């Protein structure tokens, strides 16, 4: 099946979603995902970060789709043409989504354990604007403990439902994850009951933000000061394939291994995650490959050092003050603007 995304055509299997097809092409084209999580059945379609424009529905029915569609749950059709990064309305809508997700977000990144590996940080940095239009008070919730090892900061939650699907799909029994509605909806304490399950810790890994964090790791380090290493052990409950996070010689955190889209490849058990914190518990495989843009790689691995493309001294010399009147105000005193000669 042929599908064209941002003028690049790929061949994909029937049943592939626009998101999967775009990911095949590469991260430059792939729409951002705040709720979709490939390993979790039923995930996606909620955050609307991945909305794209379908300018041609299929070869048979070439009409454009009237509304933007979520790339993560829309199946491609033969001859479909999709616009993501090249479409003005898509980018404009995405700015709006960032704004919506940040509207009630506490912006407490300086004290949040997720900072540095937070998808909301990346999403707003890449797709948002640097100003805010809201003057309203934010909705707030008290932090709660979900069992001995997991903390929930509801303030930071983006209601992606990933933890709900995780609790539902890899732990036993039906779990009702969300209570209340709208912007007062909360991840419910029913999850607390599922939390003595052997695999409950995975909700931390799937959470795109710092809403669910590992209490055994709490405030131990900023993520970019730690060094991720691949390791395994023979575990009776899970595959035992993990990432260890070192600070000096100390293992400060254990997580599942993630692919380049930030999705856990194999869910790990709570024993591996919370209790095996000694190097001697593990067989070390080697350093984790870290994407170059990630702050985690900064200043750590020689090969990943970021070299500016031009000499900085030269850039300073060439710097010109730009005559910029973009911040003039229409509502207050109108600034007098000189005519350009």
Partner 1 sequence: MKILTEHIDVPQIETLAVYKKNGGYKAVEKALKKMTPDEVTEEVKKSGLRGRGGAGFPMGMKWSFLAKPEGVPRYLVCNADESEPGTFKDHYLMWKSPHTLIEGMIVSSYALGANTSYIYVRGELMYVISILEKAIQEAYDQGLLGKNILGSGYDLDLFVQPGGGAYICGEETALLESLEGKRGNPRNKPPFPAVKGVWQCPTVVNNVESIAATSWIVNNGGDAYAAIGVGRSTGTKLISASGHIKKPGVYEIPLGITVEEFIYSDEWCGGIRDGHKLKAVVAGGSSVPILPADMILTTATGEKRLMTYESLSDGGFVSGTMLGSGGFIVMDETTCIVHNTLTFARFYHHESCGQCSPCREGTGWMDKVIHRIEHGKGRREDIDLLVDVAKKIEGNTICPLGDAAAWPVAAAIRHFRDEFEWHIEHPELATKEGAVYMRPGASWAQ
Residues that bind ligand FES (CB under 6 A): 33-36, 44-50, 70, 72
For ligand SF4, which is the closer residue by CB, 5 or 163? Answer: 163
Give, as one character, the DSSP assignment of residue 171.
Answer: S
Q: Is 334 exposed, middle or buried (0-12, 13-18, 19+ CB in 10 A)?
A: exposed
Contact yes or no for 230/257 (Cβ under 8 A): yes
Task: At 232, give phi and psi (nearest 5°).
Answer: -145, 165
For partner 1, which is the closer residue by CB, 52 or 231? Answer: 52
Residues that bind ligand SF4 (CB under 6 A): 157-163, 187, 206-209, 211-212
Query: Residue 254, SS3?
Result: strand
Could you give the CA distance from residue 135 to residue 249 in angstroms, rounded to a whole number? 46
Binding mask 17-46 for partner 1 (x = CB under 8 A): -----------------x---------xxx
Could you give the CA distance from residue 281 to residue 304 in angstroms, rounded to a whole number? 29
For partner 1, which is the closer residue by CB, 100 or 224? Answer: 100
Contact yes or no for 227/245 (Cβ under 8 A): yes
Binding residue (CB under 8 A) for partner 1 from 30, 51, 207, 254: 51
Q: Which residues of 311-325 are buried (b: 16+ CB within 10 A; e: fewer)?
A: eeeeeeeeeeeeeee
Least distance CB 274 / ligand SF4 (angstroms)? 18
Given CA atoms 201, 292, 52, 99 in this order, what sign does their dihedral have? positive
Binding mask 55-94 for partner 1 (x = CB under 8 A): ------------xx-x--x-------------------x-
Q: List the single partner that 272 binds among ligand SF4, ligand FES, partner 1, none, CB under 5 to 8 Å by kind.
A: none
Least distance CB 73 / partner 1 (angstroms)? 6
Residues at the interface with partner 1 (CB under 8 A): 34, 44-49, 51, 67-68, 70, 73, 93, 96-97, 99-101, 103-104, 133-137, 139, 158-159, 161, 176, 178, 180-185, 331
């Amino acid at each position: 099946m042929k599908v064209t995304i941002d003028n690049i055509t790929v061949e994909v299997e029937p049943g592939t979603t626009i998101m999967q097809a775009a990911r095949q092409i590469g991260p430059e084209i792939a729409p951002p995902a705040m709720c979709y999580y490939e390993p979790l059945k039923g995930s996606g379609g909620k955050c609307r970060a991945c909305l794209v424009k379908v300018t041609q529905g299929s070869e048979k029915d070439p009409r454009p789709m009237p509304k933007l569609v979520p790339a993560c749950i829309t199946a491609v059709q033969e001859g479909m043409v999709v616009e993501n990064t090249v479409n003005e309305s898509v980018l404009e809508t995405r700015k709006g989504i960032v704004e919506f997700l940040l509207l009630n977000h506490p912006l407490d990144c300086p004290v949040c354990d997720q900072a540095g590996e937070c998808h909301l940080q990346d999403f707003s940095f890449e797709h948002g604007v640097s100003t805010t239009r809201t003057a309203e008070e934010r909705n707030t919730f008290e932090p709660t403990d979900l069992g001995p090892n997991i903390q929930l900061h509801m303030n930071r939650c983006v209601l992606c439902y990933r933890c709900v699907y995780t609790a539902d799909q890899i732990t036993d029994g039906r779990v009702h994850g969300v209570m209340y509605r709208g912007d007062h909806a909360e991840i419910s304490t029913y999850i607390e009951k599922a939390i003595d399950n052997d695999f409950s810790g995975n909700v931390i890994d799937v959470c795109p933000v710092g809403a669910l964090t590992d209490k055994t790791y709490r405030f131990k380090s900023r993520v970019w000061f730690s060094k991720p290493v691949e390791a395994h052990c023979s575990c009776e409950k899970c595959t035992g394939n993990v990432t260890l996070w070192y600070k000096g010689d100390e293992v400060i955190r254990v997580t599942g291994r993630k692919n380049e889209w930030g999705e856990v490849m194999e869910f790990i058990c709570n024993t591996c995650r919370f209790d095996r914190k000694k190097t001697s518990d593990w067989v070390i495989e080697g350093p984790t490959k870290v994407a170059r843009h990630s702050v985690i790689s900064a200043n750590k691995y020689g090969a990943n050092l970021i070299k500016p493309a031009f000499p900085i001294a030269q850039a300073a010399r060439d710097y010109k003050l730009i005559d910029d009147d973009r911040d003039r105000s229409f509502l207050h005193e109108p600034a007098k603007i000189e005519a350009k000669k």
